[in-house]
A and B are shown apart, each in its own frame.
Chain A
Amino acid sequence: MNWITNYVRPRINSIFSRREIPENLWSKCDSCGTMLFHREISDNLNVCTNCGHHMNITPRDRFHALFDGGVFSEISVPEPVNDPLHFRDQKRYPERMRAAQKATGEKEAMLVARGEIGRTPIVAAAQDFTFMAGSMGMYVGNAIIAGIEEAVRLGRPFVLFSAAGGARMQEGILSLMQMPRSTVAIQMLREAGLPYIVVLTHPTTGGVTASYAMLGDVQIAEPGSLICFAGPRVIEQTIREKLPEGFQRAEYLLEHGMLDRVTDRRELREELIVILRMLMQLPPATWGDLPPPGPEELPEDGAADQVQAAPNPALEDAPRKE
């Protein structure tokens, strides 16, 4: 079990009445409307404790929960040309970028890292839907290529968590070219005989679905995720009829043969460990609390990688089993 998710939840609910809790400590589940204590949500990997609805989780939070001990090394991504088309809609593209960077505290829409999960060394990439709808531009392409190059260099599997509204329109045709670019990287991974696992999260649409997010050896999706090429609204406008309930949701795709599995986020880590260890011809994982990861996961001397040792305040004071 992942010790981050495996501790007693604070019983704070019964101590304070709602009125006394500052507004910002509570959130409403988008699906069932239940008011949830922030820590309760983050302890549960942003899955509603009442209805199981999967809310957005940032790549950084996901990686903290995914990697052993919350420890991972970020892989640096080559910087693409800034605003290659001098794109301007109602705002300039660089302005939109700065706003997204300020709002998320991240540089771009994808985080790539190496680390271990259940003592299985992997390279993982996660797309950030909160950063300009996770849209795929040159940076995301570079991130996938950098991640896969690292995976090939180290002989590790590559796990990708997708979340995107599609291509980054502000990079025009160059965003579209990330479809073939990312595909070239995946072919390099395949040729090295390394597994590629895709975890599709809500929502994954457009050019992202029509390229790297559909090319995994194993395709897993989080429950309820919208996964499509054309969005439901576009289709309804085209065919002029109402779409059935659950159309283009993960469960629907599973039924139509487009996915291998639909897996609850809280069980995903274990499932990835099980699958990856089999594909990598490794012995079964030892379940239980593990000592901290070995030195190979710590940054190399002089490397630009940065270690993230669980700085998430929500996790700092979590009781830890020894």
Chain B
Amino acid sequence: MTHYLDFEKPLAEIEGKAEELRAMARGNEDMDVETEASALDKKASDMLRELYSKLTPWRKCQVARHPERPHCKDYIDALFDEWTPLAGDRGFSDDHAVMGGLARFNDRPVMVIGHEKGHDTQSRLTHNFGMARPEGYRKAIRLMEMADRFGLPVISLVDTPGAYPGKGAEERGQSEAIARSTEKCLQIKVPLLSIIIGEGGSGGAVAFATANRVAMLEHSVYSVISPEGCASILWKDSNKMREAAEALRLTAQDLLRLGVADRVIPEPRGGAHRAPTEAISAVGNTISSMLAELDEVPRDQIVATRRSKFLRMGAHGLDG
């Protein structure tokens, strides 16, 4: 069962019709529906390409949040060997919104950190929809420190609507945890690379994505605030999220122009959720080439180059 987004409705109708025809034909051997069904397939495929070649910023937000989009764990399972999750912040608890641990990438030991959203009701609740509490950031800090001590590159997979706005999270210092995690990103002497695989939600994303290299999937987004939140503040109407998404310049393409993203990873036709294996392998290739790039940087320059990258950031706007 494909989950269709609202703008994919016409596509759903065509694909549904083709499906229906074929189902009818299965019950009746005399019927030849294949010509008609293939024509519909072709139409659907063209429509899909057309739709995804010019997604509006709001539609990109929808795609980035698509429930069937590959999540952190899918990337870890497919791209890494010997995945050994490490838990806990050593202070309060283990935050399941954040996954972290040791793994091998092409035989090379690395530290992986990422937000996991979950894929069904139960796992979404377990992972708190990818919204981390202070313990999640503190776990990440601990793992980044460990990676730094043992010379392991850190790979972060960012996919979060934002840090969790909860009572306990605030009491236990959500702001401080995010600030320290960002600070840690800037301190570690090992290469840090980050992939925005879905949603890069505000400070909750910065805490992992203050990296030497940041890549974004073609339909991922990265923003200071959700379009809905921005709309309700600036337009006083949360239904103006389309306008807000437009104004915020949160697409991978805009972020590349602004120098916040270093590269954009093309997604399969119709988005990563339609061909997860393909999307995951594209991310794998990007990790591999970014790691190689960073291997060229002398280790004693890793911190300095990361810092100067952020200090220079924003020196030009969209006009270049």
Chain A residues within 8 Å of B, Cβ to Cβ: 80-81, 83-90, 138, 141, 145, 167, 169, 171-177, 179-181, 183-187, 206-207, 209-215, 227-230, 234-235, 238-239, 241, 243, 247-248, 256-258
* B206 interfacial by beta-carbon distance below 8 Å: yes
Q: Are B318 and A177 in contact (CB under 8 A)?
A: no
Q: Are A215 and B165 in contact (CB under 8 A)?
A: no
Q: Are A175 and B224 in contact (CB under 8 A)?
A: yes
Q: Are B179 and A183 in contact (CB under 8 A)?
A: yes
- What is the chain A residue whose CB lies nearest that of B310? A180
Contact code string B168-185 (vs A, CB < 8 Å = 1, else 0): 011111111011101101
- Given A173-B222, A173-B260, A229-B163, verify A180-B173 contact (CB < 8 Å): no
Q: Are B202 and A180 in contact (CB under 8 A)?
A: no
A87–B235 Cα gap in the complex (Å)? 13
Q: Are A235 and B167 in contact (CB under 8 A)?
A: yes
Looking at B47-55, B113-121, B147-155, B246-254, the stretch in contact with chain A turns out to be B246-254
* B315 interfacial by beta-carbon distance below 8 Å: yes
- Given A207-B203, A228-B170, verify A169-B314 contact (CB < 8 Å): no
Other 8 A-B pairs with CB < 8 A, given A81-B314, A89-B243 = A85-B318, A174-B260, A179-B210, A183-B179, A183-B210, A210-B178, A214-B179, A235-B170
A44–B255 Cα gap in the complex (Å)? 47
Chain B residues with CB under 8 Å of A235's CB are 165-167, 170
Chain A residues with CB under 8 Å of B248's CB are 85, 87, 169, 172-173
Chain A residues with CB under 8 Å of B319's CB are 81
A173–B316 Cα gap in the complex (Å)? 13
Q: Are B235 and A90 in contact (CB under 8 A)?
A: yes
Chain A residues with CB under 8 Å of B313's CB are 174, 177, 180-181
Q: Are A230 and B182 in contact (CB under 8 A)?
A: no
Q: Are B203 and A229 in contact (CB under 8 A)?
A: yes
* B27 interfacial by beta-carbon distance below 8 Å: no
| B234 to A: closest C-beta gap in Å | 4
Chain A residues with CB under 8 Å of B173's CB are 214, 256-258
Q: Are A84 and B317 in contact (CB under 8 A)?
A: yes
Q: Are B249 and A173 in contact (CB under 8 A)?
A: yes
Q: Are A89 and B167 in contact (CB under 8 A)?
A: no
| B205 to A: closest C-beta gap in Å | 8
Contact code string B57-100 (vs A, CB < 8 Å = 1, else 0): 00000000000000000000000000000000000000000000
Count, chain B residues at interface, CB 8 A: 54
Q: Are B179 and A169 in contact (CB under 8 A)?
A: no
* B187 interfacial by beta-carbon distance below 8 Å: yes
Cβ < 8 Å to A, chain B residues 189-230? 202-203, 206-207, 210, 222-225, 230
- Given A177-B260, A256-B173, verify A184-B203 contact (CB < 8 Å): no
Contact code string B292-311 (vs A, CB < 8 Å = 1, else 0): 00000000000000010011
- Given A83-B317, A238-B165, A258-B176, verify A207-B224 contact (CB < 8 Å): yes
Contact code string B262-294 (vs A, CB < 8 Å = 1, else 0): 000000000000000000000000000000000
Q: Are A176 and B317 in contact (CB under 8 A)?
A: no
| A258 to B: closest C-beta gap in Å | 5
* B110 interfacial by beta-carbon distance below 8 Å: no
Chain A residues with CB under 8 Å of B183's CB are 183, 186-187, 215
Chain A residues with CB under 8 Å of B314's CB are 80-81, 84, 138, 141, 174, 177, 181
Q: Which of A85, A174, A180, A243 contacts B186 (CB 8 A)?
A: A180
| 14 CB-based A-B contacts, threshold 8 Å | A167-B202, A169-B233, A172-B250, A177-B206, A180-B210, A184-B186, A187-B307, A207-B202, A210-B174, A210-B175, A229-B169, A229-B175, A247-B167, A256-B172
